[in-house]
Amino acid sequence: MIPILFTLLIISFIISIIIFFVRSKYLAFGLSLVSILLNVPYLFMLGDFEKIFISKYVGYFGVTVNNLNFPFIITILVVTSVTTLYSLRYMEHKFSEEKKYNWGLYYALYSLFALSMLYVVSSINLLELYIFLEISLISSFLLIALYGYGDRRRISLMYFIWTHIGTILLLASIIIIGLTTGTMDIYVSAYHFMDYSVIPYSLLVFIIAVIGMFIKGAQAGFNIWLPYAHGEAPTPISILLSPNMVGLGIFVVIIYYYLFHLMSFVAPIFIAWALITMIYGGVNALAQKDFKRFLAYSSVSQMGYMLLGAS
């Protein structure tokens, strides 16, 4: 049987790399759109699961479509596809203003950003999830640094540092899980943590990961980077930052919920934090005069709703 999901993943990333060398505006645009639309079959493969063995300690890398990630897959595919269309005219105007035309670089980074978000939510292995998360962060950092506005170099560096504090904490938790369970496979590791004797240890690793993903997910108290990144990012990238990019943080929190079986322990705390985030984001959004910063704080509020739903 042909591994359809894996094949789509490989072809999509190969196309993204090819785009780097394309100079034609419409060819770069077309290839970028194709690289994303190639993954539309994911929408018709609910319940599918494909994996390949990597090593004893890493476990399996693979992709899956299930009830948890399906809404994320739909959102990412729809938003990234529509934004690809919008960005053609938008970037045409921006390139003409700056007298610099590099369609291949822009659409290659854009495709990598879009695809990596899709494969973060489709991953079955924590290390695999981390790798795709890093690709999404690096590609979005470069898009802001190269095509943003105002003090884009400083803001993109701020974005890079803050989000990488989050991912470093996530990586630390993944390494600890791998050393403890002997695998980084999400579903295999979950069996280990069904033993309630490891709950104190589980809470520690869970807290490390959640702090990291609260930064990534722009929760109240951890959201300092988002208004700045939103404000200076080119509009197509700003669209992808929320809800797609920021929403990945909440998705990983949900994965860790499942992994550690800690719902009854942390749900009250998360509900309270979600309510604070909803109110904090909403009040700050109403106080903004800049539309992009309004969207940024509105996104913070929406992340509170997502956390509340996850709790």
Q: For residue 72, what pLDDT band results from cuts at 50, 70 and 90?
A: very high
What is the pLDDT at residue 184?
Answer: 86
* Exposure class string for 82-120: b at 16+ Cβ within 10 A, else e: ebbeebbebbeebbeeeeeeebbbbbbbbbbbbbbbbbb
d(CA 169, CA 258): 18
3-state secondary structure (DSSP) of residue 267: helix
Sequence-distant (6+) residues with CB within 8 A of 156 are 141, 142, 144, 145, 148, 229, 232
Residue 198: pLDDT over 60: no
d(CA 31, CA 88): 12
Q: Are 126 and 235 in contact (CB under 8 A)?
A: no
- Chain segment 92-110, per-residue pLDDT in tens: 888 888 777 789 999 999 9
Q: Count of CB atoms within 10 A of residue 277's CB?
A: 27
- Chain segment 97-155, per-residue pLDDT in tens: 877 778 999 999 999 999 999 999 999 899 999 999 999 999 999 999 999 888 889 99
Q: Which of 77-81, 162-166, 282-286, 287-291 has the lowest mean pLDDT?
A: 287-291
Q: Which of 46-50, 123-127, 205-209, 299-303 has the lowest mean pLDDT?
A: 46-50
d(CA 5, CA 8): 5
* Rg, the chain, Cα only: 19
At 104, the amino acid letter reads G
The residue written with tokens 């470069």 in the block is 142
Ramachandran angles phi, psi of 72, nearest 5°: -65, -40
Q: Count of CB atoms within 10 A of residue 272's CB?
A: 12
d(CA 284, CA 175): 37
Ramachandran angles phi, psi of 123, nearest 5°: -70, 150
Mean pLDDT, the chain, as a whole number? 88
Domain ranges of the chain: 4-310
Q: Count of CB atoms within 10 A of residue 191's CB?
A: 11
